[in-house]
Structure 1
Amino acid sequence: MTEASDTSRCYRLVIFDWDGTLMNSQDRIVDAIQQAARKTGLPVLDDRTSASIIGLSLTKAIQTLYPEADEAQVRRMAEAYSHHFLNDSLVPMVPFAGAEGLLRALKAAGAIVAIATGKSRRGLNQVLEESGLGPYFDLTYTPEESASKPDPLMLQRILEETGVPVSQAVMVGDTTFDMEMAQRIGMDRIALSHGVHDSAELDRYGPVAHLHDLEGLKAWLLPRLCPSSMERDNPAHSTDRSA
């Protein structure tokens, strides 16, 4: 674990990435990308390359992997990916160990908990329901209501909606897209190494902590939450929402 020396801040708002941070879904995403490529007639890329774009919006991910694809091919692949991921894939995905315990502890301590993800709204809503973790989140954002990472618009809108200053918010993620997104608006960021991008890549963005699992994150984060008695500016919001 690495961490910054500044311990003066406390956090009222904790924002999580989803895939690779709370949900162990890398293998299913890679499977869906590769199956969609086959159905669309695009080259099937290796596992590492296919996984490298996890965290981006679906359209941006496809355009990154296949810069030669035209608009129609991108659209067909996106449709094939979504159908396979949501309906046909037999590759299991489960939350990382400790996910529910971490979220329960954050809510009990009075933190506002949010999601900023590259998933589609439909995909996120489905997996939140299936996993049973949806009730722990006060609000969620996808690229459909804002912009794809690493554009920080999702974070900006979460800050605006909650009324929490950036100095009392922290972004938790496993990719450089998460780290860059937070860095661009001066938000503290915590890197998790159990996801997609390796430790050296994540550390280039100066995270306040670099942890290896959700139990370690829980132990680091809980003592750094602002007192739960602090009055919130806004009430909790529904998980099933749009901007």
Structure 2
Amino acid sequence: MRYELVIFDWDGTLMDSIARIVSSMQAAALDVGWGALEAAAVRNIVGLGLPEAIAELCPRITAGQAEALKERYAWYFVTGSEADMSWYPGVEQGLAQLAATPGMRLAVATGKSRKGLNRAFSEHSIEPLFAASRTADETRSKPNPQMLEELLVELEVPVERAVMVGDTEYDMAMAAALGMDGIAVSYGVHSRERLQACRPVVMADDFQAVMDALLSRGS
């Protein structure tokens, strides 16, 4: 039987927003006087909640600087960045197909804030495809599995009938902590080697491979 619940990460898995995240964080860090951040370092924290990401990127940052950095990052990401964002190839059509599959529901587990996810839902008119969602400011940040636990309880799905789809080891680690299957996508921020170390059930090089795994697994 197929999975009853497919839980997707957002940035780096569904939406190609990495360039905007990186450029926004780099610009914000300069604005608050922290200094230059390497692009690779910023890419590494994609998927974490914003406070956790800032703490990782800027050790010993003061509370005031961290708050200012959050505000400047949000401004750049929403308004000030010229970096494009778009769906990865096949995502928009694929999500619609999955949502229409009998016995399958979709959810989101993301490092975005609720405000940020709701904005993305509204901009793309896609919220009706998802039965539920959790954001990092509503619960504990990845790789803690709390957001997955809450989704399973809310939707009344046993862990063995759910799967997490994501592009980072944070996604795969939180799934593994619950004994949940993970499908890793190699086109996001973390390398195939890092993802493979988390032992996903599938390594997908594009979204079509995700679709193939979800619609054929166990059938």
TM-score bin, normalised by smaller chain:
over 0.9
CA contact (8 A) 1:12 1:225 kept: no
1:22 and 2:14 correspond: yes
Which residue is 2:152 aligned to? 159
Return 5+ residue gaps in structure 2 as ranges. Answer: none
C-alpha separation in 1, matches of 2:121 and 2:211: 20
What does residue 213 of structure 2 align with? 220
Tell me which residue corresponds to 2:4: 12
Distance in 2, Cα, partners of 1:156 & 1:124: 19
Name 1:234's counterpart in structure 2.
none
| Counterpart-to-counterpart distance in 2, 1:112 and 1:225 | 17
Say which of 110, 114, 117 aligns to 2:110: 117
Single out whichever of 169-178 and 72-81 deviates more from structure 2: 72-81
* Structure 1 unpaired stretches of 5+: 1-8, 227-243
Deviates more, 1:21-30 or 1:89-98: 89-98
Give the alignment partner of residue 188 of structure 2, picking from 184, 195, 202: 195
**Distance in 2 between the 1:81 and 1:183 partners?**
31
Q: Which whole-Å CA distance do the structure 1 matches of 2:148 and 2:5 have between them? A: 11
Paired AA for residue 37 in structure 2? L
Q: CA deviation at 1:104?
A: 1.1
Residue 66 (structure 1) aligned with residue 28 (structure 2): no
User: After superposition, what is the alpha-carbon deviation per residue over 1:15-34, rounded to whole angstroms, capped at 9, x for unaligned?
Assistant: 00000000000000001101
Secondary structure of residue in 1 paired with 2:157:
coil
TM-score norm. by structure 1 comes to 0.87
For residues 131 and 38 of structure 1, the distance between their equivalents in structure 2, rounded to whole angstroms, comes to: 31
- Name the residue aligned to 1:138: 131
Q: Do the aligned residues in 2 keep the contact of 1:94 with 1:131 (CA within 8 Å)?
A: no
Matched residue count = 218
Partner of 1:35: 27
Higher share of residues assigned helix? 2
Paired residue type of 2:124: S
Query: C-alpha offsets along residues 186-235 of structure 1, whole Å, 9 cap, x if unaligned?
Result: 10000000000000000111100001010111112112378xxxxxxxxx
Which residue of 145, 149, 170 corresponds with 1:177?
Answer: 170
Displaced runs of 4 or more, over 4 A: none
AA aligned to 2:48 is L
Distance of 2:26 and 2:167 partners within structure 1: 22
Alpha-carbon offset, residue 171 of structure 1: 0.1
Task: In structure 1, give the amino acid aligned to 2:179.
Answer: G
Provide the C-alpha distance between the structure 2 equivalents of 1:43 and 1:88, rounded to a whole number of angstroms: 18
In the alignment, the residues of structure 2 paired with residue 19 and residue 75 of structure 1 have an alpha-carbon distance, to the nearest angstrom, of: 22
How far off is 1:135 after superposition?
A: 2.1
What RMSD in Å do the two structures reach over aligned CA positions? 1.2
Partner-residue secondary structure (3-state), 1:178: helix
Change (3 A) 1:124 1:193: same
Aligned partners of 1:95 and 1:131 also within 8 Å: no
**Do the aligned partners of 2:2 and 2:214 also contact (CA within 8 Å) in 1?**
no
8 Å CA contact 1:169–1:188 kept in 2: the answer is yes
Partner of 2:84: 92
